[in-house]
A = this chain, B = another copy of it.
Amino acid sequence: MKHENIHHACGNKVSQAIQPDSAVAFFGKDQPLQLDSGIVLSPFQIAYKTYGSLNTHKNNAILICHPLTCDQHVANPHPVTGKAGWWDSLVGCNGILNTNRYFIICSNVIGGCLGSTGPASVNPQTGQAYALDFPVITIGDMVRAQAMLVNKLGIDTLFSVIGGSMGGMQVLQWASAYKEKVFSAIILASSARHSAQNIAFGEIGRQAIMADPKWQGGRYIDTGETPSKGLAVARMTAHITYLSEGTLHRKFGRNLHERSEITFGFDADFQIESYLRHQGFSFVERFDANSYLYLTRAMDYFDLAAEHKGRLANAFQNTKTRFFIASFSSDWLFPTHESRIIVHALNAAGASVSFAEFETDKGHDAFLLHEPVMVSAIKGFLESGARAIRGLSGDGSTS
C-alpha cells in the first residue's frame, strides 16, 4: 500500500467517525448514557441506517447488532471502501430480512468509528479527539445506547434482534436487559462470555497496536499519523481466527503467490501471506486503532452470567422471547460448546429455544457468508415468529 493512500483513507476514516454517511441520533445533556464503569457519557450520538419502513403497528422492526469490525452499513455500499454492505445478501427486498416486510435498523456501536461516539469523536471538554480519555465501554453500554435509539424511533417492541459474534453478545444482552422489548432473538456464532483464548487473542491485537510508536499513547489523531502497522498485525492475527484450518488449506494450501519457486527471502512467497498482508493493510483504511482497543475490550469484559450471580439462566428468567441459537462446526473462536452453554441456560430458564450447529469448513466467518442452511433456518424461524404477530405474516405486507 502506498503512503498517500493511507493518509487519504485516514482522512476519510476520521470524517466518517465525525460526519458519517448515515442518519445520526443525537442525545443531548438531558439524555446521558449511563455507562457500566460508572461514568456518564454526555452528549453522545448514534449513527445508524434503516432499510424498509416501520409499519403502522410498529411491530415489524428488526435490529441488527454488528460484529467487531463491521458497522451500520449492512446493505449499502461502504462509504470508505465502496464495497457491498456486510450482510447485503440477507437484507433487501429479496433477502430473508425482507425490507418489504420488515423495518431493518443497524446502528454503529458506542465506541465504534463510523459515526457513533467513540475514541475518535471530539471530546467536548477539550475540543480534541477523546483518544484514551474515552471511557472503557461494555456490551451492556452498547445495548443501552441502542435501546435509547430504538425508543427515539418510536418502537416499543423489536420483532427480532439478530447478530453474530460480538453482535450475538449484544443480542444476548438485549434479551436479558430488555426482555419485554425483544419478541425474538437470533444469536449466531457467539458466546455468553469471552473465553480465555479469546481474551488472549484480544490482548495480542491491543499489544500489537500499542507497540506501534505511531500509536503515541492513543493521541495519533492529533498528529496526522496512524499506527497502521500495529493495527494491520492485529487484524492479520484476528483474521486467522475467523477462518478454519480447512478453509486455509482449501483456499491457499502451500500455493505460491505469483511465482513458481520459493525465493529464499521474506517476501510473500505464499498466497496465504499475500492474502493476510492485504487483509491487514486494507483494514487500516476503514478502521480506527483506538476503536479496535475499545471494542475488543468490551468483548473481553462480556460475561452475562457474572452479572446474574454466576448463573446464566438467571439472565433469562421469565423470558417470553423466542430464541434461535446457531453455531458453525469449524468455528474455533466461538465453538459450538459456547452456544450449548447458552442453550442449556435458556432451557433451564424455560425459554423457547431452537438450536442448530451448521456443518461448514468456513470457520467463524461462516455467519457473515450466505450459507444456505443458515439462511433457510433463519428464514423459517422468522416466518414462524411472524405468523404469531398481527399483520406481519404474508407476502410483502408491511401494515
Contact = CB atoms under 8 A, between A and B. Distances in A.
Contacts of A77: none
Interface in A218-253: 229-230, 232-233, 236-237, 240, 243, 245, 248-249, 251-253
A155 to B, nearest CB: 30
A169 to B, nearest CB: 14
Interface residues on A, range: 35 or more
Interface in A185-227: 193-197, 199-201, 203-204, 206-208, 210-213
Contacts of A251: 196
A122 to B, nearest CB: 21
B197 A245 contact: yes
Contacts of A203: 236, 268, 270, 272-273, 276-277
A21 interface: no
Interface centre among A132, A277, A301, A332 (most CB of B within 10 A): A301
A335 interface: yes
Contact of A254 (B230, B237, B276, B303): B303
A275 to B, nearest CB: 9
A135 interface: yes
A300 interface: yes
B195 A245 contact: yes
Contact of A197 (B200, B240, B265): B240
A249 B301 contact: no
Nearest to A268: B203
A201 B301 CA distance: 26
B266 A196 contact: no
A94 interface: no
